[in-house]
Chains A and B, each alone.
Chain A
Amino acid sequence: MKIGVFVCHCGENIGKTVDCATVAQRAAKIPGVAYSVDNKYMCSDPGQNVIKNAIREKKLDAVVVASCSPHMHEKTFRKAAADAGINKYLCEIANVREQCSWVHDNIPDATDKALDLVRIAVEKVKRNIPLTAIRVPVTKRALVIGGGISGIQAALDIANSGFEVVLVEKEPSIGGHMSQLSETFPTLDCSQCILTPRMVEVYQHPKIKLLTYSEVEKVEGFIGNFTVTIKKKARSIDEEKCTGCGLCIQKCPIKKKAFNEFEEGLATRPAIYVPFPQAVPNIPVIDRSVCTYYQTGKCQMCLKVCGREAILFEQQDTLVTEEVGSIVIATGYKLYSIDKKPEDSEIKGYGEYGYGKYKDVIDGLQFERIASASGPTNGEILRPSDKTQPKKIVFIQCVGSRDEQKGFSYCSKICCMYTAKHAMLYKHKVHDGEAYVFYMDIRAGGKMYEEFVRRAIEEDGVKYIRGRVSKIYRQNGKYIVKGEDTIAGMPVVIDADMVVLATAMVAQPNASKLAQTIGVPYDKYGFYQEVHPKLRPVEVSTAGVFLAGACQSPKDIPESVAMASAAAAKSLVLFGSDYLEREPTVAVVNEANCAGCFYCLKVCPYNAIEKKEVKNKLGEIIDYIAHVNAGLCQGCGTCNATCPSKSIELIGFNDEQIYAEINAFSESFV
């Protein structure tokens, strides 16, 4: 093997402390080195030409460039080598700038070290093999999980670019939390009015396959090539036949008995229902847990009234399989419920606020429903207990948020704004009412946000009290709210008619399960973890999976929508080419030596190790050995280090290469 060594002075940067000419001279004596030269600027065009010409004229097989960090110019030099006709992976960098000339002062020491680094690189490159990037075909189809505003936006963006989308929503209708909201800050435009057209657009879009009342069961494969198994839960309705006339709902004898999720428990619904009038699709679902027929085997009223015979009592859950190239996770959030301590939660909770005990102590989403024109009170502000108009209302912010001791350390971000909105809506509807807001800080960073809060205080006369509430209790039909005004430095007692708690936004209760299904890291709160908080905010470490909306952290609508479009754009980048090129530095199994202990499988962060059957001549399975799915492998090499017999090796950093690098030290430090 003929190796060329090219020592860069980087002007003075390397040349000042490393005697580059000496390094080049001494490197020429290293076994295998056929050519060695130094140059003022290797990365410059003339410098690169030195490399290219040497490769051609000296018929070099591999090159080592002693220059700046490989993170800087490895690509440059590999490309130069490739231009001159050798495989780009036969180019190694000796980092003699960041890790030598810039950190040492003494010229002889730095020169010795530089030579060592060159020798190490030479020994490695001797054992490098030509590699070609792995080409993986891309299925140009996306899966969007979650049909809230984020999922809707991502699905529409991708579909409008001409690619198919499978949109999966676990509820009977898409729309998510946004469909529950009355009005939105800071414009106070009607939430339903801006959302519904989007929902309909999704439903009618020829490129979008909508699977509601469905959940993702299993995800296999890798970027560009996922196979997703989705469970379609049984609606007990033939979706093809149902026209959405609603007769069955009207006639259901259960009528007003079941807990109405959409109304956050402030109203009831029949056993057969659509969550809300604008639901998409407008197809009912039977709640088997309350339906008389499922409980007693009698009734079947819905079937009797349905002219289309669309009721299917025997319908079963079905599994559908979809092939997709990218996955957008937009599973959103839940509000932290302070009455019941969530399972597996170390959160202590807020029993002293009486939520769940007092009917008139409600959370933000319940207030949204009360304030909504389509809500249980038709938009009139009435308290749940006795349907009277509250004259004094207290809003408490940061219930669960920013409270390391009892709740979560993070800020839920939207509560300052929606509380201001709530107080404002209340004042607009109850002109003689008094609204108090207990807050810690007002965080109104956003376009027109601060102005919005000021409006609530200044125009609508909402009284903001800086401080925490210690206790709420009932006395003479009032809710006594005891708190502290930390600005005035005195205790405050308010005899309120109703209390609204801005409870924290938390991850969906099954967020970790989905994360494990797909292979997405999540933080200790269950929010999904992006690769880089600044530069790769919508990507996760599993390539081809993107995040949108509040599943990543608390977000408001504009942020969620922006993130959804970003996630869509990331999918579209992927769909821009027919093949994916992946670094070929992946693990491979030496099948003859693999004993099948599968410790590699246990340590692989990417589930890239599969069990491969070994068959005898009769076709019987006699053993299992490890196999690497090159599409999933990211090249960390943990398997390689774990394998006791070294039967799985990481190409590009294999044992032989590392051994040679270590061995090159033997003559080091001379």
Chain B
Amino acid sequence: MDEKLITLNNLKIFAEELLKANYTLILQDKQGIRWEKISNSDELHISSKLKPTKASFKEFVFSKTEPIFYFNNKNDGVELIDSNLSAEKMVFFGSKPCDAKSINIMSKVFNWDYKDNFFNTKAENSIVIGMLCEYRDEFCFCTSVNLSPVSSDGSDLFLIPTDENNFAIRIVTEKGREFIQPFLKLFAEGNPETTDQIFKKINLPEKGFESEVIRSWIGNNFEHKYFERAGEICLGCGQCAFVCPVCHCFDIVDEECGYSCGRRMKNWDACQFSLFTLHGSGHNPRHNQTQRYRQRISHKFKYYVDKFDEILCTGCGRCSRGCPVGIDIGQIAKEVHSLAANKV
């Protein structure tokens, strides 16, 4: 494994160079709300102790709203015009392991059948510089979903603070290697063994549940009344899905651009919305919130695993921190685990 060293000062120069080379640098904002583009390396604000922002950087690879194509209705027919795909080169700087993994996870659903150009173009143009995570709170559970604060899975490069002003940077992917190549003068050679020692000292969150246990329990307990407890207080907003780094459902709507012309939009959607499964006929197969909540848990811990061998969750805890009524997915998974253990 290739590893380099860089000082904080040089990291800033690195950022400066990247901006000059027309990369878009995207970082956690200072308010802790979302990820932001920065225009100046002075704004480089990274730390392993940052609390995860309320929203993940998902919106940069999977837009909250984007046009698929435009249409112009003329008297003699309809003209279709393709939407321009942005070729912006993006660098997600200082991503926590739980965020870094998200592109890989979503990539599976966007490529298993139809290749989603909108996602792929952005994903291909993205570099994820992950970073070791030293933030912990009661909502974090990355270790339960086979990740960890030191996981470089999903990162192209992975930053490890060695002291206040120095970092080790691990080259994780070939894409990362190519990306860093022009800037190598800013880096010194590093020793992976030293950083491995750092990793060992990192205090890992306790594993709360076995995802495999959850998966099999859900498969056998579809009608279990346990789901009702969350379902009856869930208000059916889309907060959990929208802040989730890996929820990827979208809705297609048309909207007017002007007189007799318009565009087809791809917008975030959430399985907790009652309209999500509402049929044109008025029938709604998931007609109550319990069913919708079960869908959320099942999709994350069973269906996605069954189909893509990947848990649709990175344990970041965002949905639980933000839930208006305090539904805590980590806690629920733990409870399900104990239900399974007790064979209830």
B2 at the interface (CB under 8 A from A): no
Query: Contacts of B75 on A, CB cut-off 8 Å?
Result: 28-33
Closest chain A residue, CB of each to CB of B257: A666
Q: Is A160's beta carbon under 8 Å from chain B?
A: no
Which residue of the partner chain B has the closest CB to A33? B75
B-contacting residues, A22-36, CB 8 Å: 28-33
A666 — which chain B residues lie within 8 A by C-beta? 256-259
What 0/1 readout, one digit per residue, does chain A (602-639) give for beta carbons within 8 Å of chain B?
00000000000000000000000000000000000000
- Whole-angstrom CA separation of A406 from B300 in the bound complex: 80
Which of chain A's residues have a CB closer than 8 A to the CB of B343? none
B282 interface residue (CB < 8 Å to A): yes
A667 within 8 Å of B (CB atoms): yes
Considering the chains assembled together, what is the distance between the CA atoms of A28 and B282 in angstroms? 39
The answer to the question of A664 belonging to the interface, with a C-beta cut-off of 8 Å to chain B, is yes
B74 and A31: CB pair below 8 A? yes
Interface check A665, CB cutoff 8 A? yes
Q: Is the CB of A31 within 8 A of B260?
A: yes
Contact A663 B259 (CB under 8 A): yes
A284 CB to closest chain B CB (Å) equals 67
Q: Mark A441-465, 1 if CB is under 8 A from B, else 0.
A: 0000000000000000000000000
Chain B 71-83, CB within 8 Å of chain A: the 1/0 string? 0011100000000
Query: Which residues of chain B (238-285) have a CB below 8 Å from chain A?
Result: 256-260, 282
Number of interface residues of A (CB under 8 A): 14
Which residues does chain B contribute within 8 Å of A33, judged by CB atoms?
75
Alpha-carbon separation in the docked complex, A31 to B74 (Å)? 6
Contact A667 B258 (CB under 8 A): yes
A-B contacts at CB below 8 angstroms, number:
24
A232 part of interface (Cβ distance < 8 Å):
no
| B259 neighbours in A (Cβ, 8 Å) | 119, 663-668
Complex Cα distance, B147 from A561, in Å, reads: 95
Q: Is A592 part of the binding interface, using a Cβ–Cβ cutoff of 8 Å?
A: yes
Q: Contacting B260 at CB < 8 Å: which of A28, A592, A667, A668?
A: A667
Query: Which A residues are in CB contact (< 8 Å) with B257?
Result: 666
A residues 642-669 near B (Cβ < 8 Å) are 663-668
Q: Name the residue on B nearest A664 (C-beta).
A: B259
| Smallest CB separation, B75 vs chain A (Å) | 5
The residues of B that contact A667 with a CB separation of less than 8 Å are 258-260
- Is A592 within 8 A of B258, CB to CB? no
Query: Closest CB of chain A to B302's CB: distance in Å?
Result: 34
**Chain B residues positioned under 8 Å from A30 (CB to CB):** 75
By a CB distance below 8 angstroms, the chain A residues around B282 are: 592
- Count of residues in B whose CB is under 8 Å from the partner chain: 9
List B contacts of A32 (CB < 8 A): 75
The complex places the Cα of A666 from the Cα of B74 at a distance, in Å, of 15
In the docked arrangement, what's the CA distance between A663 and B261, Å?
10
Most chain A CB within 10 A, of B73, B256, B260, B282, is at B260
Smallest CB separation, B255 vs chain A (Å): 11
> Which residues on A sit within 8 Å (CB–CB) of B256?
663, 666
CA distance A666 to B73 in the complex (A): 14
Nearest B residue to A667 by beta-carbon distance?
Answer: B259
Task: Tell me the smallest distance from the CB of A41 to a CB of chain B, in Å.
Answer: 28
Are A31 and B73 in contact, with the CB atoms below 8 A?
A: yes
Q: In the assembled complex, which residues on chain B have CB atoms less than 8 Å from the CB atom of A668? A: 259
Residues on B with C-beta less than 8 A from A663 are 256, 259
Which residues in B have their C-beta under 8 angstroms from that of A664?
A: 259
Contact with B along A289-323 (1 / 0, CB 8 A): 00000000000000000000000000000000000
- For the complex, give the distance between the alpha carbons of A350 and B118 in Å: 86
Q: How far is the CA of A592 from the CA of B73 in the complex (A)?
A: 32
Q: Which residues of A contact B73 (CB under 8 A)?
A: 31
Interface centre among B256, B257, B259, B282, by most chain A C-beta atoms within 10 angstroms, is B259
* Bound: A31/B257 CA distance, A: 16
- Output the nearest chain B residue to A29 by Cβ-Cβ distance: B75
Q: How far is the CA of A68 from the CA of B256 in the complex (A)?
A: 31
Q: Mark A514-555, 1 if CB is under 8 A from B, else 0.
A: 000000000000000000000000000000000000000000
Shortest C-beta distance, A531 to chain B (Å), equals 40
Minimum CB–CB distance from A660 to chain B (whole Å) comes to 10
CA distance A33 to B76 in the complex (A): 10
Residues of B30-66 whose CB lies within 8 A of A: none
Tell me which residues across on chain A come within 8 A of B74, comparing CB atoms: 29, 31
Q: How far is the CB of B279 from chain A (nearest CB, A)?
A: 13
A45 to chain B, nearest CB (A): 31
Mask: chain A, 195-224; 1 = CB below 8 Å from B; 0 = not:
000000000000000000000000000000
CA distance A32 to B259 in the complex (A): 13
A119: chain B residues at CB < 8 Å are 259
Give the residue name and chain of the A residue nearest to B72 (CB). Answer: A31
CB distance from A415 to the nearest CB of B (A): 65
Complex alpha-carbon distance, A664 and B257, angstroms: 11
A119 to B73 alpha-carbon distance, docked (Å): 14
Task: Kindly state the separation between the CA atoms of A119 and B260 in the bound complex, as whole angstroms.
Answer: 11
CA separation between A1 and B256, bound complex, in Å?
20
In the complex, A665 Cα to B256 Cα: how many Å? 12
- Taking CB as reference atom, which chain A residue is nearest B73? A31
Q: Which residue of B lies closest to A34 (CB)?
A: B75
- For the complex, what is the distance from the CA of A32 to the CA of B256, rounded to whole Å? 17
A361 to B75, CA, bound (A): 85
- Nearest neighbor of A30 in chain B, beta-carbon distance: B75
| B residues less than 8 Å from A665 (CB atoms) | 259
Q: Which of A13-58 contact B (CB under 8 A)?
A: 28-33
User: A667–B74 Cα gap in the complex (Å)?
Assistant: 13
Report the Cα distance A119→B75, complex, angstroms.
13
List the 5 closest pairs (A to B, CB-CB), nearest first: A666-B258, A667-B259, A666-B259, A31-B75, A31-B73
Pull 22 A–B residue pairs with CB atoms less than 8 Å apart, ordered by A.
A28-B75, A29-B74, A29-B75, A30-B75, A31-B73, A31-B74, A31-B75, A31-B260, A32-B75, A33-B75, A119-B259, A592-B282, A663-B256, A663-B259, A664-B259, A666-B256, A666-B257, A666-B258, A666-B259, A667-B258, A667-B259, A667-B260
Q: B interface vs A, CB < 8 Å?
A: 73-75, 256-260, 282
Excluding A666-B257, A667-B258, 9 further A-B contacts by CB distance (< 8 Å) are: A29-B74, A31-B74, A31-B260, A32-B75, A33-B75, A592-B282, A665-B259, A666-B259, A667-B259
Q: Which residue numbers of A lie inside 8 Å of B, CB to CB?
A: 28-33, 119, 592, 663-668
